[in-house]
Each structure stands twice: as structure tokens, then as C-alpha cells.
Amino acid sequence: MMNKRTIAKTAVNIICLMISVIALYAFTAVIEVSIGWRLALIVIAIGWIVSAVSNLIECLKQGKKSG
């Protein structure tokens, strides 16, 4: 069983991942900006997604070690 801190970190990472996916959608389909800004925002959103997935994997590994 994971401790409360690991569960909280995992929940926050899942929320951040969902927000990052929504941001990526907004940057690609909704926001009307020039192509340069759009590409920059897409790169930033992909970076957020990679970071969130990496942190989520790390939290789940910590949960398995402690549990």
C-alpha cells in the first residue's frame, strides 16, 4: 500500500497530465495565433506532458518500493 504522500503526488501528477493534454488541444485547435507561436506553444505543451508522465512513473515506482 502506498503512503498518503505518494498517493497525493500521484493524484497531482494525473491532474497535471490531464491539464497538459487539454492545453495541447487548445494550442493546436482552439487558439488562433501565428504559426510560430503555435509551434512554440505545442512544444511547451509536449514538454509538460513528458514531464508529467515522467513524474507519474517515478511516483508509481516509489509506491511499489514502499508498499
Query: What's the confidence (pLDDT) of residue 31?
Result: 80
The pLDDT of residue 65 is above 80: no
Instruction: Give the list of residues 6+ apart from residue 59 with CB closer than 8 angstroms, or none.
Output: 6, 9, 10, 13
Statement: residue 1 has pLDDT above 90:
no
Q: What are the domain boundaries of the chain? A: 4-66
Q: Give pLDDT tens digits for 3-48.
A: 888 888 889 989 999 999 999 898 888 888 888 988 998 899 999 9
